Amino acid sequence: MTSLSVLEISLETTLLSMVGCAVFIVYAKVCTDQSIYTLELLPPDKDLSFIQNLSEIKVIWDLQKTLTTFVLTFFVNRCFNFWDSVYKSAREVQGKISGFNLLLATNVVRNEDGTHTIESEQFLEEVGQCTRLFHILFWASKTKRFSALMSNEGLKRMESRGLMSSTQLKILLDMDIPNEQLHSAPLEWMMIRTNQAMDENVLLADNATKSALLREFMSLRNAYANIGNLIEGRLPLAYVQFVQILVDSFILVSPFALYPSLGDYSVVGVGLITLFFTGINSLAKIFLDPLNNEAIYENSIYFDLGVMIREANGDSTKWRKAGKISPFSK
């Protein structure tokens, strides 16, 4: 996954806040008949009516500071938990695919010397191909970056690259379901081919093996369905807007609240407040978009699905290659 530092995210907003604070300080000095060309080491005279009015604003600002800090801390924690849940579910899908292939590779019929039979080798390759196709189409249904793969042109391109057969391509193109559900076809093919292998005595057909494969298959289905449920049920938009308004208003009032006690140095205070509060809020919003579908920030923190897909593709052949010749053969 790629990353972007909080400083890079908030730098522009921080600089704008500091410039705005500097402009306000010039205005305040003009209103209080102070020189605008000297840097005051001491805070302004609190006996001035202008400064007294600003001190009243600071009372309100202090109350909002507590509320903003609490709400923002809770908000970023919820957002990170969402991000972490999606990541764990994505890894679970990958793990379930690998586990399904492992069960098949260790339960196919072998020759006396421990090698795969021709039928077993063909079966494992066909199921592995279906798992690769399922994984690619599933993420294509969830991310804008890979959504082109679900189009007719994308499917034909995958067929030309050997990711599916011409028969599978025709079936996918003729299916009367939304493109976002095309991954359900290769998922079903995985189990259909497995049941067929049991009927052909290519795969062990005892009840224990059947139960283990069915449990792994249903766990895979539940794992990938959970990703869609998480994304569709993330935080309500009104909550995100409320936090944004709370943070923006808190930062906006900061120059008025800090000037009576910090004077010219309130520029630094406003800069730090903007950096931390805006940075945390931006980080929280990034956590709400783990697949980078909304592209909130360039080079943001999102899953590098290309790596996950390559790893899953490798897992689809790893167990078949590792167990091609049994070390326990007679």
User: Residue 113 carries which DSSP code?
Assistant: T
**In a shared domain, residues 315 and 177:** yes
**In a shared domain, residues 243 and 133:** no
**In a shared domain, residues 317 and 188:** yes
Each residue's pLDDT tens digit, 129-172:
999 999 999 999 988 888 898 899 999 999 998 889 999 999 99
**In a shared domain, residues 198 and 318:** yes
- Cβ-contact 257, 54 below 8 angstroms: yes
**In a shared domain, residues 51 and 151:** no
Q: What is the mean pLDDT of residues 18-28?
A: 89
Domain that holds residue 62: 6-83+234-304
Q: How far is CA 189 from CA 95, 145, 182, in A?
A: 19, 26, 12
Q: How many domains, in total, are found in the chain?
A: 2
**In a shared domain, residues 117 and 157:** yes
- Cβ-contact 64, 253 below 8 angstroms: yes
CB atoms within 10 A of CB 23: 11
- Cβ-contact 243, 75 below 8 angstroms: yes
Each residue's pLDDT tens digit, 65-98:
999 999 999 999 999 999 999 999 999 999 999 8
Q: State the pLDDT at residue 294.
A: 78
Q: Is residue 106 part of a domain?
A: no
Q: How far is CA 308 from CA 88, 92, 312, 313, 326, in A?
A: 12, 11, 6, 9, 29
**In a shared domain, residues 176 and 317:** yes
**In a shared domain, residues 121 and 167:** yes
Q: Assign residue 168 a region: left if phi > 0, alpha if psi is -120 to 50, beta otherwise?
A: alpha
**In a shared domain, residues 130 and 162:** yes
Q: What is the mean pLDDT of residues 223-245?
A: 90
Q: How far is CA 77 from CA 87, 100, 281, 326, in A?
A: 15, 34, 11, 49
Q: Is residue 1 part of a domain?
A: no
**In a shared domain, residues 60 and 73:** yes
**In a shared domain, residues 59 and 78:** yes
* Cα 260–Cα 266–Cα 270 angle in degrees, nearest 5: 125
Is pLDDT at 175 greater than 80 in this prediction?
A: yes
**In a shared domain, residues 227 and 244:** no
Q: Is residue 96 part of a domain?
A: no
Sign of the torsion formed by the C-alpha atoms of 6, 11, 12 and 15: positive
Q: Is residue 327 part of a domain?
A: no
